[in-house]
Structure formats: C-alpha cells, structure tokens
Amino acid sequence: MEKLVVEKSPPLSGVVPVSGAKNAVLPILAATLLTEEPCVIEGAPRLRDVATMIRLMETLGVMVEQRADGSLETRLLSEERSTAAYELVKTMRASINVLGPLLAKRGRARVSFPGGCAFGPRPIDLHLKGLRALGAEIDIREGYIVARAERLRGAAMYLGGPFGSTVTGTANVMMAAVLAEGRTVIEGAACEPEIRDLAEFLNALGARIRGMGTPRLTIDGVDRLGGTTHRVIPDRIEAGTYLAAGAVTGGDVTVKGVAPGTLRSVLDVLREIGLSVTEGEDWIRVRRAGRLRNTDIVTLPYPGFPTDLQAQFMALLAVAEGVSVVTEKIYPDRFMHVAELARMRARIRKEGATAIVVGTRRLSGAPVMASDLRASAALVIAGLVAEGTTEVKRIYHIDRGYERIEEKLTALGARIVRREDPEAP
C-alpha cells in the first residue's frame, strides 16, 4: 500500500489543469450498454474508479480500449451476460449504474446489492422505485438485485427522497427510460451537471430527453440508439479541491479547463472567507491576502454546496479566524475526517449532522488515515499548512477520484511525495 507524505508548503502558485469528471464518465460508460454501436468518450480521467468501470463493462461484453490521448472507445461484443458481480460492485458503488441500461437493453439484470460505505448507509430504494414504475419486476436474492422486463413502459414518477434528489438514481431511471415504450416524466430529478452531461450523451446517441439540468425530465422512448463521440465535462470537485489547496496556503492558484458556472456556490464560499476570485470562460483564479475568515456551509443537492467538497472546505475552515458551522444535508454521517483532522490539532466538534469548527492558527502534522476519497483530499489540504510532516495513509481512496494528485500539487509548489507504506496492513 502507498501513502502520501506532505510537508508544510509555501503558498501554492501556478496553473493546474482539471481532468474530466469522474462522476460523469462512470454513468456514461454504463450508458454504452444501451447501444450496439461503438462510442468514443473523450477527456476520461485516468482513475481507479474508471479502471474498475472498464473491467465491469468488459465482464458485460463491452470492450473498452483506452487510446494514448486518454479517450475511451467502446465496442459491443456480446449481450449474453447481465450480471454485475459482488467483487466489482463492492469496490465501487457507481457500478449500480449498469442496472437501468442492462434492464432496458437486455431485458434482465443481476447486480450485486451495493452496501453502505465509510460515510453511512447509501440506499437504492429510489432507483428500484423508478424502475418498477417503468414496469420492471425486481427481487432481491442472495445479495443481488434481480430485475426483469419484457419491454419497459414510460411512466410519470417522483424520484425525490428524504435527502432530496438522487444523482445515480436519476441516471439509472433516465437510462432505462430512453428505450422504454412511450413517455417518462421524472419529477424531483437530480440537476447535477454530471446528469446533464449523461443526458447530452444519450441524446447524441439518439435518445429524446428534454429538461436536462432541471428537476423535471421528459423522456420519449426510442427503439434503438446509435453511436457518438462525446467529451466529458470537467471535474468540478477536483477543481474545488485545488482551489481549496491554493486558498489554505495563501497562494495564487488558477484551475484551467473548468466550467465556472458549475461552481457558483463554491466560489461564493471562497469569497466569503476572504479570497479574491476571478474567472474566465474556462478558468478560475483564487488569491489570498490576509487570514481566512469563518463562514457557515450547508451541503445541498446542486446547485447548492456539494457534499463532495465538504471535507476539503472543513480543512480550510479549521485554520480560518473564528467559528464556522458546517451542516451535511446529503449524508448526515459524512464526518469521518473530523477525528483525523483533530489528530492534526484542528478544533472541531460534531453535533449530529453538524460540525462546529473553531479556527486555529496552527495545525500540527501527524500520521492520518484516509477513510474515503474526499476525506483523503481534506487531509492532504490540511497537511499543506500543518507544521512538520503529515502522512496520509490508505491513499488508494484518493486514486479512485484524483488523477496524479501529488504531481499536480507539486507543480504548484507543494511539498508532497508518494511512498510505499510498509506499515500498512
């Protein structure tokens, strides 16, 4: 196993390129199950999760070739198999994205039931509700979701749940509905840019989806889909992570190749805590003079502040002036990083789904353990300003979602290296 060794770093400065969005490319890869034609996906990031999804696609009869420029070419070889096995699904929950496409195209799907994860239960009841509304018969057997349908039929449905809309649930039902007979209307659909990107990909294949990016999707089913070449949108979470890294060190960092319109709530927070934020069509620059100020953050479905940046921004607030309050409205238990940040001398108290962060001037480097992808990024950010050395262990989490994070940070002046970790189990 490997670890990242982070030293207190000078103010980061420079330009960092942002990769394609992990959470867009994963459902888009799954969507290629819906067509018999080849597809090319440009701008796919080189990540562990993408590699896992490629392996899963291959077990389902879709060959995925990775070209030198990083783009992925998919080609259907066989539609015989329709099982997503436990071994793959347990390593990546996003595997559930194949459920809707398999059901719609092959009439059957057997997908391992994804369990919870480091930040709590992750139910899929809304996925199943939507697919049942389209006429699927669904059973849970031996840890698998077993779904069947002759031909799905369009239906009107509401997909909101106790925590708002569901990103992957919307993706699953939308992918199933594009091949259903008749019209489907999804109310309470997720508005995340990654869902919009998936809808644009599907429409390029010949699907008829309207209302993309809004909570009301109207989908008119078609009989078959073709192929296309599609470039995935930039990763807004990766962009926000590098902006937070620049901010915490008092630096001057520009993220390039981003869509600033997808980061409005995040840029607002950066301004509130005292940063100067400027932007162009595809870049955002953040500079800091003086100490960070406190603020309150509430995570919400898009366009609200993303839960996937909550941990990284908590690391920022840990060294800001005054008291900040961070409330998690998507995953009430997504606070595993709090205890690790406390090992670095951060002063954070958790009260239910809220963390009260008392800013301190000095963090202290420590060995810390990454519990999930975004929590790992938060520990790296904290390590950049902590006195001494921070060792972030179990970084396979970080490689799931960040492409060459230590190289990108080093190019900005950070003192960070990847090392083998002989102590890891």
Q: Which residue numbers are catalytic? A: 117
354: DSSP letter: E
126 binds ligand EPU, rule: CB under 6 A: yes
Q: How far is the CB of 298 from ligand EPU (least distance, A)?
A: 14
**φ and ψ at 294, to 5 degrees?**
-75, 160
Q: Which of 369, 340, 391, 367 is nearest to 5 (CA)?
A: 391
104 vs 131 by CB, closer to ligand EPU: 131
Q: Report how far apart, in Å, the C-alpha atoms of 179 and of each of 103, 245, 327 are.
A: 10, 43, 39
35 vs 97 by CB, closer to ligand EPU: 97
Q: Which stretch binds ligand EPU (CB under 6 A): 2-10, 74-82, 167-175, 280-288?
A: 167-175
**φ and ψ at 276, to 5 degrees?**
-90, 125
Q: Which stretch binds ligand EPU (CB under 6 A): 5-13, 160-168, 262-270, 407-415?
A: 160-168
167 binds ligand EPU, rule: CB under 6 A: yes
The Cα–Cα gap between 260 and 179 comes to 33
107 vs 123 by CB, closer to ligand EPU: 123
> Cα-Cα-Cα-Cα dihedral of 389, 394, 395, 400, to 10°?
-160
Beta bridge partners of 119: none
The only residue of 43, 45, 100, 169 in contact with ligand EPU, by rule CB under 6 A: 169
The only residue of 197, 200, 235, 308 in contact with ligand EPU, by rule CB under 6 A: 308
Q: How far is the CB of 125 from ligand EPU (least distance, A)?
A: 5
Q: How far is the CB of 103 from ligand EPU (least distance, A)?
A: 16
226 vs 303 by CB, closer to ligand EPU: 303
201 binds ligand EPU, rule: CB under 6 A: no
Report the sign of the C-alpha dihedral through residues 4, 15, 303, 171, in that order: negative
Q: How far is the CB of 164 from ligand EPU (least distance, A)?
A: 6
Give 75: exposed, middle or buried? Use CB within 10 Å, 0-12, 13-18, 19+.
Answer: middle
Contact status, residue 280 vs residue 348, Cβ threshold 8 Å: no
Q: Please give the structure tokens belonging to residue 15.
A: 């330009």
Q: Please give the structure tokens belonging to residue 202.
A: 């599907």
The only residue of 124, 232, 409, 414 in contact with ligand EPU, by rule CB under 6 A: 124
Residues in 326-385 at the binding interface with ligand EPU, rule: CB under 6 A: 330-331, 373-374
127 vs 393 by CB, closer to ligand EPU: 127
Q: Which of 235, 233, 251 is nearest to 243 (CA)?
A: 251
217 binds ligand EPU, rule: CB under 6 A: no
162 vs 425 by CB, closer to ligand EPU: 162
Residues in 389-408 at the binding interface with ligand EPU, rule: CB under 6 A: 401
The Cα–Cα gap between 47 and 93 comes to 15
188 binds ligand EPU, rule: CB under 6 A: no
The Cα–Cα gap between 368 and 382 comes to 11
Q: Are strands 389-393 and 2-7 parallel, antiparallel or unpaired?
A: antiparallel
324 binds ligand EPU, rule: CB under 6 A: no
Contact status, residue 338 vs residue 362, Cβ threshold 8 Å: no
The Cα–Cα gap between 135 and 153 comes to 6
26 binds ligand EPU, rule: CB under 6 A: yes
167 vs 386 by CB, closer to ligand EPU: 167
The only residue of 163, 211, 296, 413 in contact with ligand EPU, by rule CB under 6 A: 163
Contact status, residue 1 vs residue 394, Cβ threshold 8 Å: yes
Q: How far is the CB of 166 from ligand EPU (least distance, A)?
A: 3
* Helix, coil or strand: residue 379: helix
Q: Which stretch binds ligand EPU (CB under 6 A): 165-173, 241-249, 313-321, 414-422?
A: 165-173
342 vs 353 by CB, closer to ligand EPU: 353
Q: What DSSP assignment string belongs to 201-215?
A: HHHHHT-EEESTTSS
Q: Which stretch binds ligand EPU (CB under 6 A): 8-16, 79-87, 148-156, 162-170?
A: 162-170
Residues in 92-121 at the binding interface with ligand EPU, rule: CB under 6 A: 94
307 binds ligand EPU, rule: CB under 6 A: yes
- φ/ψ bin of 322: left (φ > 0), alpha (ψ from -120 to 50), beta (otherwise): left
- Binding site residues, ligand EPU, CB under 6 A: 23, 26, 94, 122-127, 161-163, 166-169, 307-308, 330-331, 373-374, 401
